[in-house]
Amino acid sequence: MSDNSNRDVQPSCATPVTRPRVITLAHGSGGRIMHDLIQDVFIGAFGGQEKAQRHDGAVLDMATERIAFTTDSYVVDPLFFPGGDIGKLAVCGTVNDLAMCGARPRWMSVAFILEEGLQIKTLERIALSMRDSADHAGVSLVTGDTKVVEKGRGHKVFITTAGIGSIDHGLVISPDRIRAGDAVVLSGDIGRHGIAVISSRQGLSFETEITSDCAALGNPVMALLEAEIEIHCMRDLTRGGLATSLVEIAESANMGIQIAESRIPVSQPVRAACELLGFDPMYVANEGRFVAFVPQTQADQALSILRTHGNSQGAELIGEVTGNMPTGVTLLTSLGTQRPIHMLSGEQFPRIC
Amino acid sequence: MSDNSNRDVQPSCATPVTRPRVITLAHGSGGRIMHDLIQDVFIGAFGGQEKAQRHDGAVLDMATERIAFTTDSYVVDPLFFPGGDIGKLAVCGTVNDLAMCGARPRWMSVAFILEEGLQIKTLERIALSMRDSADHAGVSLVTGDTKVVEKGRGHKVFITTAGIGSIDHGLVISPDRIRAGDAVVLSGDIGRHGIAVISSRQGLSFETEITSDCAALGNPVMALLEAEIEIHCMRDLTRGGLATSLVEIAESANMGIQIAESRIPVSQPVRAACELLGFDPMYVANEGRFVAFVPQTQADQALSILRTHGNSQGAELIGEVTGNMPTGVTLLTSLGTQRPIHMLSGEQFPRIC
């Protein structure tokens, strides 16, 4: 990444912005502007109710058992891309949010908003993909809804899934549990989903086809928990990419995180595509990658476990929690310099998920 | 309703249709075509997984407790209408689906799909309305998501809520529990939501403003359960109206249901508006009305309980389950004749909820 640092730095520059009064595409970016919107409008309105808003899901105490509950809408364009489709994404994305809460994914709801004129065979293909993905992830699709809007008032298919998972252990997994010295483990190479979608949308082709990393992460996460790895925090690296996820965690925890550029796996085709398109892989969306914060003493064991699972066989130790002075995320570059990392600012590309 | 029976009959005529290959607005109607789509595409793909598809939600056995789980998308146009808005609707609709499962509404997720260009003050107004509705219904909004699509690829705001409720009793509430002799109790006057939305959309005004019945039904339902009314089945009367809901239940149960036209409360303004617009109130959507099937011996007690709650003070006994020969729904008209009732066929009006 060091050889295109000018372009790399660009999307991460935090420039002061006047808060807009209308919704812009950047509000869907996963970056700073979306965070401001959630803070200003939703936290403002929902207050304490929306207490789990800043995490991937809500952990709920029932009388005798803890469950996790999460939702996401999927508006990816195009509907089908190398390595996945909106249906697979809608199942895996919600499975992953549950897994990030340390929950075993159990049940899922599916709500469709269809645009008048959609080919029903397209919908069938998506539904079958959802079923396959749900079977593979061991989650049951148990309830649903369908709405239709007029042509030009929607776009083909939007899907919203919600998921419930059961929590069978006593760990509390949350940004405020990270501690100085914790190891930061990344589950595999980054940047594939974003590049697969954007190149598919724009009709670009590369020498080597780049396929999305879209995958369900329930199994590797359950394996970590079963081995009694004391996971402090996990986060899947969707909109805003690795950089934004780490900044969110550092800000929530009021801690410093240092990661080493040389340890972050980026495939050669993704690196080349990013250079061509002017993107920094650190900010590109993933749909099958996560970071886990674990005690340094368990880092090697966690890596070994992750590497036995297909979806996390490229796991690497990429950094550590440095303490609370200074706070924020620092990248140790391949040149040996240190560079502060910010959230995605503005819009990288819309409708990536 | 007898004096405009020609127009009334029209939307309920079940004409044979060739199954379309593209999505039409009728696929969102809640009527026969939507049912066919669910049967052909979703049940086909999801198979046994989607086992709760034909009910309002899924009832899930956890290790020690039963919970209900449901989802709905809301695409109502316009966003604000007399008596409610999309936010109130999104909270009440999901609360009501939980209540219809006999569950105490507990937690809700909220996912927004926003169109680029939406005024943020509009979103704030909706979020505050959701908060008020959630407070009133005693449900907590605990997790959420926001996506943005380009101008012309969505329409202002779509909201998808999912809800979890806890089931604290041993009853199984389901269409296949209804029995010959069961009383059919309707919780209030019908047709207000549909007429309020359509007149607001079309800029129609009537001498008396018709406000939506949009309301959360958790409290009256919990009151029935606390009084140990042995509820066999409940259903809220949304898209497709009273007629479609009753036909769905009769078909699921393979039973006959007879209702008396003279006992079905329809306000004078709604009746007049329906005559003007050519609608049958039996097919017009409601958002705060439900039917309950209870043993005949408990019908009076159930009515008394419902009438003590603001949202069901107009409750009436409208009919009974006649047994399994013949099956289906029969309307005893004000003229003393009997008329079979069918599901809504085709589209009445789109984007009513």
B interface mutation test: which of A27, A70, A123, A148 has the most B CBs within 10 A?
A148
Looking at the structure, tell me whether residues B186 and B331 fall in a common domain. Answer: yes
Q: Is the CB of residue A194 less than 8 Å from the CB of residue A141?
A: no
As given in the structure block, the two tokens for residue A254 are 């009021």
A223-277, pLDDT tens digit by residue? 999 999 999 999 999 988 999 999 999 999 999 999 999 999 999 999 999 999 9
Q: Is the CB of residue A56 less than 8 Å from the CB of residue A70?
A: yes
Report strand pairing: B157-167 vs B66-74: antiparallel
Q: How far away is chain B from the Cα of A353, in angstroms, using its nearest Cα?
A: 9
Confidence check: pLDDT of A56 > 70: no
Q: Which helix (H) or strand (E) holds A161?
A: strand A157-167
Phi first, then psi: what are they for B116, rounded to 5°?
-50, 135
Confidence check: pLDDT of B30 > 70: no
Q: How far away is chain B from the Cα of A22, in angstroms, using its nearest Cα?
A: 4
Average pLDDT over residues B117-143: 92
Looking at the structure, tell me whether residues B217 and B319 fall in a common domain. Answer: yes
Average pLDDT over residues B261-268: 97
Confidence check: pLDDT of A48 > 60: no
Lowest mean pLDDT among A32-46, B41-55, B213-227: B41-55
Contacts of A54 (CB under 8 A, 6+ apart): A38, A248, A252
Query: Between B276 and B26, where is the model more confident?
Result: B276
Contact B71 A143 (CB under 8 A): yes
Contact B46 A130 (CB under 8 A): yes
Residue A55 lies inside a defined structural domain of this protein: yes
* Residue-range definition of the domain harbouring residue A209: 175-341
CA distance B261 to B332: 6
Amino acid at B238: T
Contact A65 B67 (CB under 8 A): no
Say whether the ipTM exceeds 0.95.
no
Q: How far away is chain B from the Cα of A53, in angstroms, using its nearest Cα?
A: 5
Contact B164 A71 (CB under 8 A): no
Among the candidates A166, A191, A216, a domain finishes at A166
Confidence check: pLDDT of B315 > 70: yes
Give me the DSSP letters along A81-142: ETTEEHHHHHHHHHHHHHHHTTPEEEEEEEEEEEETT-BHHHHHHHHHHHHHHHHHHT-EEE
Q: What is the mean pLDDT of chain B?
A: 87
Q: What is the mean pLDDT of chain A?
A: 87
Residue A33 lies inside a defined structural domain of this protein: yes
Contact B23 A52 (CB under 8 A): no
Whether the CA torsion A277, A278, A281, A283 is positive or negative: it is: negative
Q: What pLDDT is recorded for position B239?
A: 87
Q: CB-CB: which of B22, B73, B134 is closest to A147?
A: B73
Write out chain B residues lying below 8 Å of A150, CB-based: 25, 350-351
Lowest mean pLDDT among A144-148, A181-185, A194-198, B162-166: A144-148
Looking at the structure, tell me whether residues A181 and A328 fall in a common domain. Answer: yes
Q: What pLDDT is recorded for position B98?
A: 95
Report strand pairing: B316-323 vs B338-341: unpaired
Q: Which residue of B has its CA nearest to A55?
A: B143
B interface mutation test: which of A147, A174, A344 has the most B CBs within 10 A?
A147
Contact B164 A166 (CB under 8 A): no
Residues in chain B: 353
Confidence check: pLDDT of B135 > 60: yes
Residue B319 lies inside a defined structural domain of this protein: yes
As given in the structure block, the two tokens for residue A35 are 């965070």
A66-86, pLDDT tens digit by residue? 889 999 999 999 999 999 999
Looking at the structure, tell me whether residues B96 and B208 fall in a common domain. Answer: no
Contacts of A152 (CB under 8 A, 6+ apart): A115, B152
**With bands split at pLDDT 50, 70 and 90, how would you rate the model's confidence at B53?**
very low
**With bands split at pLDDT 50, 70 and 90, how would you rate the model's confidence at B32?**
confident
Residue B141 lies inside a defined structural domain of this protein: yes
Q: Which helix (H) or strand (E) holds A276?
A: helix A268-277
Residue B63 CB burial class (10 angstroms; 0-12, 13-18, ≥19)? exposed
A interface mutation test: which of B71, B74, B94 has the most A CBs within 10 A?
B71
Give me the CATH number covering residue A210: 3.90.650.10
Sheet (strand B58-61) strand order? B58-61, B66-74, B157-167, B104-115, B140-149
B242-257, pLDDT tens digit by residue? 999 999 999 999 999 9
Confidence check: pLDDT of B12 > 50: no
Confidence check: pLDDT of A18 > 70: no
Confidence check: pLDDT of A9 > 50: no
Helices of type H across B84-209: 86-100, 120-137, 192-201
As given in the structure block, the two tokens for residue B248 are 């769905």
Give me the CATH number covering residue A57: 3.30.1330.10
Residue A8 lies inside a defined structural domain of this protein: no
How would you classify residue B21: left for phi > 0, otherwise alpha for psi between -120 and 50, otherwise beta? alpha
Contact B37 A121 (CB under 8 A): no
Confidence check: pLDDT of B19 > 80: no
Q: What pLDDT is recorded for position B189?
A: 98
CA distance B87 to B94: 11
Q: What pLDDT is recorded for position B158?
A: 98
pTM score of the predicted model:
0.88
Write out chain A residues lying below 8 Å of B72, CB-based: 111, 145
Looking at the structure, tell me whether residues A332 and A248 fall in a common domain. Answer: yes
Looking at the structure, tell me whether residues A211 and A308 fall in a common domain. Answer: yes
Return the HEC string of A2-60: HHHHHHHHHHHCCCCCCCCCECCHHHHCCCHHHHHHHHHHHHHHHHHHHCCCCCCCEEE
Residue A4 lies inside a defined structural domain of this protein: no
Q: How far away is chain A from the Cα of B135, in angstroms, using its nearest Cα?
A: 9
Residue A19 lies inside a defined structural domain of this protein: no
Write out chain B residues lying below 8 Å of A165, CB-based: none
Number of domain units in chain B = 2
Looking at the structure, tell me whether residues A194 and A115 fall in a common domain. Answer: no
Looking at the structure, tell me whether residues A128 and A229 fall in a common domain. Answer: no
Looking at the structure, tell me whether residues B185 and B206 fall in a common domain. Answer: yes
Confidence check: pLDDT of B316 > 70: yes
Q: What is the dihedral of CA B83, B89, B94, B98, to 10 degrees?
A: 10
Contact A71 B145 (CB under 8 A): yes
Confidence check: pLDDT of B26 > 90: no
Which among B335, B352, B141, B177 has a CA at the least distance from the CA of B249? B177
HSE-CB at A104 with a 13 A cutoff on CA atoms is: 14
Query: Between B17 and A251, where is the model more confident?
Result: A251
Looking at the structure, tell me whether residues A197 and A317 fall in a common domain. Answer: yes
CA distance A325 to A341: 15
Contacts of B260 (CB under 8 A, 6+ apart): B318, B319, B331, B332
Q: CB-CB: which of A41, A109, A353 is closest to B71?
A: A109
Q: How far away is chain B from the Cα of A168, in angstroms, using its nearest Cα?
A: 11
A310-336, pLDDT tens digit by residue? 999 999 999 999 998 899 999 999 999
**With bands split at pLDDT 50, 70 and 90, how would you rate the model's confidence at A180?**
very high
Among the candidates A166, A187, A216, a domain finishes at A166
Looking at the structure, tell me whether residues B162 and B299 fall in a common domain. Answer: no
CA distance B289 to B237: 6
Among the candidates B146, B166, B186, a domain finishes at B166
> B18 in helix, strand or coil?
coil
Confidence check: pLDDT of B33 > 80: no
**With bands split at pLDDT 50, 70 and 90, how would you rate the model's confidence at B1?**
very low
Which among B101, B100, B95 has a CA at the least distance from the CA of B68? B101
Looking at the structure, tell me whether residues A65 and A179 fall in a common domain. Answer: no
Give me the DSSP letters along B301-340: HHHHHHHTSGGGTT-EEEEEEEESSS-EEEEE-TTS-EEE
Lowest mean pLDDT among A25-39, A121-135, B108-122: A25-39
Residue A325 lies inside a defined structural domain of this protein: yes
Q: Which helix (H) or strand (E) holds A143?
A: strand A140-149
Give me the DSSP letters along B250-299: HHHHT-EEEEEGGGS---HHHHHHHHHHT--GGGS--SS-EEEEE-GGGH
Give me the DSSP letters along A217-251: -HHHHHHHHHTT----EEEE--TTHHHHHHHHHHH
Q: Which helix (H) or strand (E) holds B33?
A: helix B32-37
**With bands split at pLDDT 50, 70 and 90, how would you rate the model's confidence at A194?**
very high
